[in-house]
Amino acid sequence: MTSRRTFIKQSGIATAGLLVSPSTFFTVNIGRKPKVIIIGAGFSGLAAAYKLKQKGIEFTILESQHRIGGRVFSHRMTDNLTVELGGEWVGKSHTRIQELCSEFNLKLLNNQMDTHLIYKGKYFTKDKWNFSDEWIQKFKSLKEGFKDFSQADKELLDKYDWWHYLVNNGCEGRDLEIKELLDSTDFGESIRHVSAFSALAEYAESSEKNEMDKKIIGGNGMLATRLSEAIGKENILLDHKVDKIVQENDKVKIYCQNGKFFEADKIICSLPTFAIKKIHWQPALPDEKVLALNELQYARINKHAMLFSKRFWKDESFDLITDQLPHYFYHATKGQPSAKGVLISYSIGDKADVVANQSNMWNAAEIGRTLKPHFGDIRPLIENQANFNWSNNDYTKGAYALYKPGQWFRVMPILKETFIHTHFAGEHLADWQGFMEGAINTGEDAAEKIF
């Protein structure tokens, strides 16, 4: 079976240089390695830098924010309790991030959850609900059948949405409603907006827990710290927002808003699409790339973390999907010793927009209303709250990329195309969106193109 990662790597090779006119090719002086500017100090940019460091290639990272890590955002709720307001899970199949954790002596803990359900006012514990036997068998056969899909089959599947695919294959009623709740949590938007190919490929190729398997002890941001130490913190310049990029002859010139100027041979741009569009490119980006940047949407996700004086949910592996506004809860401090604990309320799509615009008091009341019939009044147990809405982030305008129907095989290759001396990286170019593994993979892939 050709995996999505295989497709992405092949499409990257096939399209490399398509946006480069013959006059823009150049050869680096024999005996001299190129100098590289990496834009962005998220996991993609850091991984690219680490690969270049190992190859002995000179580089500088320009980061617009005052911190590294990008959309990995570890947040301390207390001195000994850390939660993730950004990238959360390390999957069993995420081999590269696990290798890096082993290399930097970072330990991973089991972060799998046992899902409870609130549906139509009733509460079901982890072992008391499931899909119908008919749909369980049907979905299993659909996933198994995916391995025999031809390229034409996959491209046809990409033309319509995941909701229609499910309905067309007999998912209906309660099965469909619960499937919508669960799958929209994965993609960050209604499954009516998700490419059927993108969804089926992910579920057919992922682990049993859909890659929600592990987390780094001490916070996922620990890996960003270790990478920065390995590549040299002096090579990372914070508060350097790129304003203009000029690519001419055999050089690139990078101008920052703070007045700093840099010159190099190559660029690795690891920014999300919204930030790429904010840069003034000379020459201008090709029309088809601009259109692709404008087409790709990012998921709306809001994380509302609540510190409780005790873990009233009792089950360390507790998570809870609901058909109410808070949408999804999970125990964010699993495996962290303390009587206290943090639940994160995770809202997506339109729900995220509503939640993000409210006060902590309002959110506490809404969460309390959802949980009270099943856990009693939990609001007196709240000690602290933290909210982060990725749609309001000035650099991303969303949490992670969402490929809509008709975009995977058309938009993805264009976004990957090298532009003159600039290679692109980032989770939006990965085999699955929203994972740290994908960001790392694309950063390393971009670094491999530097000679």
Residue 35 has a CB neighbour count (10 Å cut-off) of: 18
**Residuewise pLDDT in 10s, the chain (451 residues):** 445 555 455 555 444 444 443 333 334 444 568 999 999 999 999 999 999 999 999 999 999 999 999 999 999 999 999 999 999 999 999 999 999 999 999 999 999 999 999 999 999 999 999 999 999 999 999 999 999 999 999 999 999 999 999 999 999 999 999 999 999 999 999 999 999 999 999 999 876 667 789 999 999 999 999 999 999 999 999 999 999 999 998 999 999 999 999 999 999 999 999 999 999 999 999 999 999 999 999 999 999 999 999 999 999 999 999 999 999 999 999 999 999 999 999 999 999 999 999 999 999 999 999 999 999 999 999 999 999 999 998 888 999 999 999 999 999 999 999 999 999 999 999 998 999 999 999 999 999 999 7
Measured distance CA(321)–CA(343) in Å, rounded: 13
Question: Given the structure tokens 């991973």, which residue do they identify?
Answer: 108
Report the pLDDT value the prediction gives residue 413, as an integer from 0 to 100: 97
Report the pLDDT value the prediction gives residue 143, as an integer from 0 to 100: 96
Report the pLDDT value the prediction gives residue 11, as an integer from 0 to 100: 54
Report the pLDDT value the prediction gives residue 58, as an integer from 0 to 100: 96
* Burial label, 316 (beta-carbon count in 10 A; 0-12, 13-18, 19+): middle
Phi/psi of residue 244, each to 5°? -145, 140
Report the pLDDT value the prediction gives residue 304, as an integer from 0 to 100: 97
Name, in order, each residue with C-beta under 8 angstroms of 105's C-beta and a sequence gap of 6 or more.
Answer: none
Measured distance CA(449)–CA(266) in Å, rounded: 10
Measured distance CA(32)–CA(64) in Å, rounded: 29
Cis ω for the linkage preceding 283 (within 30 of 0) = yes
Q: 43-73 burial, b for 16+ CB within 10 Å, e for fewer?
A: bbbbbbbbbbbeeebebbbbbbbeebbbbbb
Report the pLDDT value the prediction gives residue 25, as an integer from 0 to 100: 38
- Separation in Å, CA 50 to CA 15, 39, 64, 88, 251: 25, 14, 19, 22, 23
Domains of the chain with CATH codes: 4-66+220-297+400-448 (3.50.50.60), 132-205 (1.10.405), 300-399 (3.90.660.10)
H or E element at residue 279: none
Closest CA to 395 of 41, 65, 47, 39: 65
Name, in order, each residue with C-beta under 8 angstroms of 63's C-beta and a sequence gap of 6 or more.
Answer: 40, 41, 45, 236, 237, 238, 239, 240
The dihedral formed by the CA atoms of 185, 300, 327 and 130, expressed in degrees to the nearest 10: -10
Q: Give the predicted TM-score (pTM) of the model.
A: 0.92
Over its C-alpha atoms, the chain yields an Rg (Å, rounded) of 22
Listed in order, strand segments (DSSP E) in 240-309 are: 242-248, 251-256, 261-264, 266-269, 280-282, 297-298, 301-308
- Separation in Å, CA 68 to CA 222, 227, 233, 447: 11, 10, 10, 19
Report the pLDDT value the prediction gives residue 373, as an integer from 0 to 100: 95
pLDDT tens for 421-442 read 999 999 999 998 999 999 999 9
Give me 51's structure tokens.
Answer: 């690969």
Question: Given the structure tokens 């007196």, which residue do they identify?
Answer: 380
Report the pLDDT value the prediction gives residue 31, as an integer from 0 to 100: 55
